[in-house]
């Protein structure tokens, strides 16, 4: 019954290469910025997104991340601070055949744009929101952001912040997002995989990308991205697989009631069978919240991967179905039908 | 006895009726039923609902009085009437609130059942006005409306509350009898409304007829009135409120342009009906998006415009403030967008259900930077329809946001709209750019308008945004000269629209002592006032601005032809400020900021004051 979704009707006739998605504009992010990697991975994976180039649209708000559309050789709209999700919603509803991507940052999406973000998630509008989270305001030169850790010293918090940060995964999940994932600028393969999966998801997809700002928050994710420390600090979520991490896959996470516990898989007391098995299709968000909490618990690894993906008819498809249904039922609207209602009279 | 009653039928040219009662008494419904029936008889009419912001203020209280005023006539009229000839007062509060507005000797039909000690106290009456002498000078008809309604429903299985709620139909039936109108329209309406609730259908029908026959039987009335059809121009008509007219005007523009209509909207009084009305038209391909806030309402519309829909957003004052930043984006991105602002009393929450014209300067200047856009104002409920079409036409042709100003008075008021054949409507041609040869997103045509290349068009992939763009090419540019050039181009583009709008029409002599220059919803009151003073031998001309930015090209020369120019406005002088500035002209002001429209008499008195003794009789 559902309308065709974008991924099935727009199979490209031409085979694109990453170069086709690169615009001729000089990229102007700071040297070493994590955004370069994100751009490269998006361009690398775009040929596999299943849409014609002219049907891909990138919408952004304001911030370093929001310069993104200029560098993509697709349709793009660099809008105003915080409003990217709302503007993207209009684009998608005006033409549901478009694949609409949102490039945004932690300040743009979670602070000034918070209301649009939660409602886009709630309504399950078929947008692909890619949020670059560097836990800092970069373009305004170094104030703390809604994801900065409490106590962080920045230009606007010389004595440390007294704010508690948002956890974007929890916020998206709590708002009803049907695809929620996290990845990192310095893990290109994983980033590519998340982008491809978001592109193929039929509904709102949210990807939080941990992104390094070399100027104002350098090294914020260093323990997660460096070869030596990454295995102990990152757990990769894979559907149907147990939560195992560590250099030799020697650690696991099991559930003790509703509390996650780190277990040693080499101490003879625990085995891989005791580990929490990730089920991204579970539409009950309880376990997603458990996973999302890991970043708040000292000593726990940070999960990356798809936290959840489940199906709920996207807003745009329901809207178009309603239009189709009522057009069938009442007949296509015409000027006669519009103007000559039962209350019309004639003056001769 | 019945047979002995002699009823005289008296012809009158026009009547103003006011239905007033508690917010929950169904006065708006009663009024609109009487209006529909009156419209179908071919009278010209104009209505003014007047209700509190509170949904249900305490029953019987002065704050809870809801009214519906209807002016109908056998001649051409343009206001809902200054003072009612007839008041239907459902309770003491309704009487108290409305009595000061009535004409001398007005007919007052009172529901005496509601004049008990409790209601009198709630209405802050020290003594019962029906029993003291305070209503001398009026023609008071006491009717036990509630009691008679209950009697008419004896034996039905409705609860007491349900029975009591039918009393507005008794009043309606009585008014139908008194003004010689058929009940058939309302019965048809009831049959549709209560299709699946036969007991309510029967009850309301019975009460309606009971009211009608009561007029016939009671000794209280010896005269009934007749208002003959008006001599309106030939054609088909329907009655529209301003909000409804905006909605169907936008759909008409969608049909005329061939673009789907998108409305991004957030509910706000008095603009919500536009969203509600448009939501009914899914089979016209209308996409209404009830957004999470006002900002998302306009932002989603800007997105829809970028993607090639006819995009609109509607709001009222506080919402326009919230949309301000996004309007700047629409200006610099040069995207078509219709913004309907139904003005209400401000500032801040102000008077949400009342009318005002105080957002004109906000429409002009309420954005940071040099951010010109087109501004139109509708002059009557039916003109809201034509204005919505015109706003769409200009937005699409010139790739610009257009603010259409209406107000609470127009939004809720109604009048007949003459329906034109489709092929006589303004043309709204839209040409998307499809040819990739020589495409530059900010190149301009002879009207300085840039091409509209929508996503989905192969080969035209491009990026736009809120940052200043390089002339023609659209890439980001911080060059000083380019910025000034773009500022000037955007300004000139709006100014050039003046070539595409009609000249300002002066009604009356083209030069003389006094021109009265209005804009927006004051048209009707000004027009009737001018007619009256002319009948008294004064000479005055009228001109009314629909196009506020740009203004008609002949405005300057029109103004120069008069010794004096009077600008009446429901604000502290916003158009006056603009005209003074633009033409260095010492215009006279007449201002009222009470949340109420001008009365004809107020303008009439002002005109006489200015002209007094000069060329009057």
* Paired sense of beta strands B86-89 and B65-73, if any: unpaired
- What are the chain A neighbours of B237 within 8 Å (beta carbons)? 344-347
What mean pLDDT value characterizes chain B? 95
Q: Do A334 and B264 touch (CB under 8 A)?
A: no
Distance CA A56, CA B571 (A): 48
Q: Which residues contact B472 (CB under 8 A, 6 or more apart)?
A: B440, B442, B443, B444
Task: Give the mean pLDDT of B95-123.
Answer: 96
Q: How confident is the model over B127-178, as pLDDT tens digits?
A: 999 999 899 999 999 999 999 999 999 989 899 999 999 999 999 999 999 9
Q: How confident is the model over B425-445, as pLDDT tens digits?
A: 999 999 999 999 999 999 999
Share of chain A above pLDDT 90, in %: 92
Q: Do A340 and B419 touch (CB under 8 A)?
A: yes
Q: Do B308 and A330 touch (CB under 8 A)?
A: no
Distance CA A97, CA A117 (A): 22
Q: How confident is the model over B99-108, as pLDDT tens digits?
A: 999 999 999 9
Helix (H, G, I), strand (E, B) or coil at B517: strand
| Residue B407 pLDDT > 70 | yes
Strand partners, B541: B515
pLDDT band of residue B271 (cuts 50, 70, 90) is very high
Task: Give the mean pLDDT of A195-214.
Answer: 98
* Paired sense of beta strands A179-184 and A205-210, if any: parallel
Distance CA B504, CA B470 (A): 37
Q: How confident is the model over A114-137, as pLDDT tens digits?
A: 999 999 999 999 999 999 999 999
The one-character DSSP state at B510 is S
Q: Are B383 and B314 a contacting pair, CB within 8 Å?
A: no
- Would you call A9 an interface residue with chain B, using a CB distance cutoff of 8 Å? no
- What are the chain A neighbours of B388 within 8 Å (beta carbons)? none
Q: Are B361 and B431 a contacting pair, CB within 8 Å?
A: no
Q: What integer pLDDT is reported at residue A7 of this predicted model?
A: 43
Q: How confident is the model over A56-76, as pLDDT tens digits?
A: 999 999 999 999 999 999 999
Q: What integer pLDDT is reported at residue B6 of this predicted model?
A: 79
Min Cα distance A328 → chain B (Å) is 8
- Token pair in block for residue B47: 């209505």
Which residue spans within B410-540 are E strands per DSSP?
Answer: 414-419, 463-465, 506-507, 512-519
Q: What integer pLDDT is reported at residue B4 of this predicted model?
A: 60
| Residue A12 pLDDT > 70 | no
- Would you call A24 an interface residue with chain B, using a CB distance cutoff of 8 Å? no
| A108, A120, A335, best to mutate vs chain B, most B CBs in 10 Å | A335
Between B224 and B50, where is the model more confident? B224
Q: Do A69 and B457 touch (CB under 8 A)?
A: no
Min Cα distance B441 → chain A (Å) is 11
Q: What integer pLDDT is reported at residue A11 of this predicted model?
A: 53
pLDDT band of residue A13 (cuts 50, 70, 90) is low
Determine how many CB atoms are found less than 10 A away from the CB of residue B38: 25
| Residue A197 pLDDT > 90 | yes
Min Cα distance A79 → chain B (Å) is 5
| Residue A6 pLDDT > 50 | no
Q: What integer pLDDT is reported at residue A5 of this predicted model?
A: 43
pLDDT band of residue B615 (cuts 50, 70, 90) is low
Task: Give the mean pLDDT of B340-354.
Answer: 96
| Residue B303 pLDDT > 80 | yes
Q: How confident is the model over B363-400, as pLDDT tens digits?
A: 999 999 999 999 999 999 999 999 999 999 999 999 99
Chain-centroid distance, C-alpha B342: 8
Residue A292 phi, psi (nearest 5) = -65, -30
pLDDT band of residue B3 (cuts 50, 70, 90) is low
- What are the chain A neighbours of B464 within 8 Å (beta carbons)? 76-78
Q: What integer pLDDT is reported at residue B1 of this predicted model?
A: 44
Share of chain A above pLDDT 70, in %: 96
| Residue A147 pLDDT > 50 | yes
| Residue of chain A minimizing CA distance to B192 | A342
Residues A55, A56, A59, A63, Cα dihedral to 10°: -160
- Token pair in block for residue A272: 């891989």
pTM for the structure as a whole: 0.94
Q: Do A338 and B248 touch (CB under 8 A)?
A: yes
| Residue B501 pLDDT > 80 | yes
| Residue A256 pLDDT > 70 | yes
Q: Do A70 and B459 touch (CB under 8 A)?
A: no
Q: What integer pLDDT is reported at residue B232 of this predicted model?
A: 87
- Token pair in block for residue A180: 């929620």
- What are the chain B neighbours of A57 within 8 Å (beta carbons)? 307, 455
The one-character DSSP state at B227 is -
3-state SS of chain A?
A: CCCCCHHHHCCCCCCCCHHHHECCCCCCCCCCCCHHHHHHHHHHHHHHCCCCHHHEEEEECCCCHHHHHHHECCEEEECCCCCHHHHHHHHHHHCCCCEEEEEEEHHHHHHHCHHHHHHHHHHCCCEEEEEEECCCECCCCCECCCCCCCCCCECCECCCCCCCCCCHHHHHHHCCCCEEEEEECCCHHHHHHHHHHHHHCCCCEEEEEECCECCCECCCCHHHHCCCCHHHHEEEECCCCECEECCCCCEEEEEECCEEEEEECCCCCCCHHHCCECCCCCCCCHHHHHHHHHHHCCCCCEEEEEEEECCCCCHHHHHHHHHHHHHHHHCCCCHHHHHCCCCCEEEC
Cα dist from A214 to A138, A280, A302, B331, whole Å: 10, 33, 21, 35
Q: How confident is the model over A309-322, as pLDDT tens digits?
A: 999 999 999 999 99
| Residue A298 pLDDT > 90 | yes
Q: How confident is the model over B562-575, as pLDDT tens digits?
A: 999 999 999 999 99
* Paired sense of beta strands B562-569 and A205-210, if any: unpaired
Q: Are B226 and B10 a contacting pair, CB within 8 Å?
A: yes
| Residue B525 pLDDT > 60 | yes
């Amino acid at each position: 019954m559902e309308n065709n979704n974008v991924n099935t009707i727009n199979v490209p006739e031409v085979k694109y290469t990453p170069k086709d998605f690169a615009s001729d504009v000089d990229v102007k992010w700071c040297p070493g910025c994590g955004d370069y990697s994100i751009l490269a991975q998006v361009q690398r994976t775009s040929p596999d997104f299943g849409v014609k180039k002219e049907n891909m649209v990138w919408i952004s708000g304001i911030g370093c991340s929001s310069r993104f559309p200029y560098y993509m050789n697709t349709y793009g709209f660099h809008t105003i601070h915080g409003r990217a999700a709302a503007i993207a919603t209009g684009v998608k509803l005006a033409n549901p055949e478009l694949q609409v991507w949102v490039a945004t940052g932690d300040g743009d999406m979670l602070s000034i744009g918070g209301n649009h973000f939660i409602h886009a998630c709630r309504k399950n509008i078929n947008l692909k929101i890619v949020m670059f989270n560097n836990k800092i305001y970069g373009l305004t030169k170094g104030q703390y952001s809604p994801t900065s850790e409490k106590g962080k010293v920045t230009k606007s918090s010389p004595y440390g912040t007294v704010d508690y940060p948002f956890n974007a995964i929890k916020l998206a999940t709590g708002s009803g997002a049907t695809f929620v994932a996290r990845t990192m600028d310095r893990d290109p393969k994983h980033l590519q995989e998340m982008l491809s999966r978001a592109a193929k998801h039929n509904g709102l997809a949210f990807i939080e990308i941990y992104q390094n700002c070399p100027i104002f928050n350098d090294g914020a994710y260093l323990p997660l991205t460096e070869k030596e420390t990454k295995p102990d600090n990152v757990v990769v979520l894979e559907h149907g697989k147990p939560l195992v991490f560590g250099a030799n896959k020697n650690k696991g996470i099991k559930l003790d009631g509703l509390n996650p516990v780190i277990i040693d898989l080499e101490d003879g007391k625990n085995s891989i069978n005791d580990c929490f098995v990730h089920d991204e299709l579970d539409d009950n968000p309880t376990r997603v919240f458990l996973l999302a909490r890991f970043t708040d618990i000292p000593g726990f690894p940070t999960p990356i991967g798809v936290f959840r993906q489940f199906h709920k008819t996207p807003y745009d498809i329901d809207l178009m179905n309603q239009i189709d249904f009522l057009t069938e039922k009442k007949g296509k609207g015409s000027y006669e039908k519009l103007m000559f209602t039962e209350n019309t009279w004639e003056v001769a | 006895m019945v047979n002995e009653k002699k009823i005289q039928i008296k012809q009158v040219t026009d009547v103003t009726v006011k239905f007033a009662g508690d917010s929950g008494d169904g006065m708006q419904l009663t009024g609109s039923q009487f209006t529909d029936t009156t419209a179908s008889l071919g009278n010209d009419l104009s209505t003014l609902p007047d209700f509190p912001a509170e949904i249900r203020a305490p029953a019987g209280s002065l704050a809870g009085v809801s009214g519906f005023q209807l002016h109908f006539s056998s001649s051409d009229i343009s206001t809902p009437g200054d003072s009612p000839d007839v008041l239907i007062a459902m309770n003491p509060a309704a009487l108290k609130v409305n009595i000061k507005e009535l004409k001398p000797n007005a007919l007052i039909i009172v529901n005496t059942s509601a004049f008990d000690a409790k209601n009198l106290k709630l209405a802050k009456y020290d003594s019962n006005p029906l029993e003291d002498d305070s209503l001398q000078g009026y023609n008071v008809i006491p009717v036990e409306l509630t009691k008679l309604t209950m009697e008419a429903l004896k034996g039905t299985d409705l609860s007491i509350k349900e029975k009591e709620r039918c009393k507005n139909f008794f009043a309606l039936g009585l008014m139908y009898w008194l003004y010689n109108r058929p009940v058939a329209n309302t019965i048809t309406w009831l049959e549709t409304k209560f299709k699946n609730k036969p007991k309510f259908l029967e009850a309301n029908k019975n009460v309606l007829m009971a009211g009608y026959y009561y007029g016939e039987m009671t000794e209280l009335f010896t005269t009934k009135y007749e208002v003959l059809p008006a001599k309106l121009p030939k054609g088909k008509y329907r009655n529209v409120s301003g909000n409804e007219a905006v909605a169907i005007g936008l759909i008409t523009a969608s049909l005329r342009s061939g673009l789907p209509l998108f409305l991004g909207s957030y509910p706000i009084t008095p603009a919500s009906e536009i969203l509600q009305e448009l939501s009914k038209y899914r089979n016209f391909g209308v996409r209404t998006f009830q957004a999470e806030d006002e900002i998302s309402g306009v932002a989603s519309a800007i997105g829809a415009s970028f993607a090639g829909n006819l995009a609109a957003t509607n709001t009222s004052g506080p919402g326009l403030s919230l949309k301000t930043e996004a309007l700047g984006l629409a200006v610099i991105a040069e995207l078509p967008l219709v913004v309907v602002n139904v003005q209400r009393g401000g500032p801040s929450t102000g008077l949400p259900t009342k009318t005002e014209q105080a957002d004109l300067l906000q429409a002009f200047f309420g954005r940071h930077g040099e951010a010109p856009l087109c501004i139109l104002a509708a002059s009557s409920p039916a003109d809201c329809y034509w204005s919505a079409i015109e706003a769409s036409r200009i937005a699409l042709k010139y790739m610009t946001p257009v603010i259409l100003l209406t107000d609470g008075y127009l939004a809720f008021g109604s009048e007949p709209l003459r329906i034109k054949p489709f092929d006589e409507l303004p043309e709204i041609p839209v040409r998307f750019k499809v040819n990739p040869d020589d495409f530059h997103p900010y190149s301009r045509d002879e009207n300085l308008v840039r091409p509209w290349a929508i996503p989905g068009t192969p080969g035209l992939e491009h990026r736009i945004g809120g940052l200043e763009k390089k002339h023609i090419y659209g890439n980001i540019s911080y060059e000083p000269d380019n910025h000034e050039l773009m500022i000037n181009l955007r300004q000139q583009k709006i100014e050039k629209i003046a070539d595409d709008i009609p000249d300002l029409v002066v009604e009356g002599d083209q030069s003389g002592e006094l021109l009265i220059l209005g804009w927006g919803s004051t048209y009707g009151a000004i027009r009737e006032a001018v007619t009256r003073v002319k009948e008294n031998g004064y000479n005055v001309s009228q001109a009314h601005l629909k196009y506020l930015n740009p203004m008609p090209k002949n405005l300057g020369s029109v103004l120069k032809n008069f010794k004096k120019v009077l600008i009446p406005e429901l604000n502290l002088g916003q158009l006056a400020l603009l005209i003074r500035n633009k033409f260095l002209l010492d215009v006279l002001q007449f201002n009222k900021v009470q949340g109420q429209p001008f009365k004809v008499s107020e303008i009439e008195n002002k005109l006489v004051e200015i002209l007094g003794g000069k060329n009057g009789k």
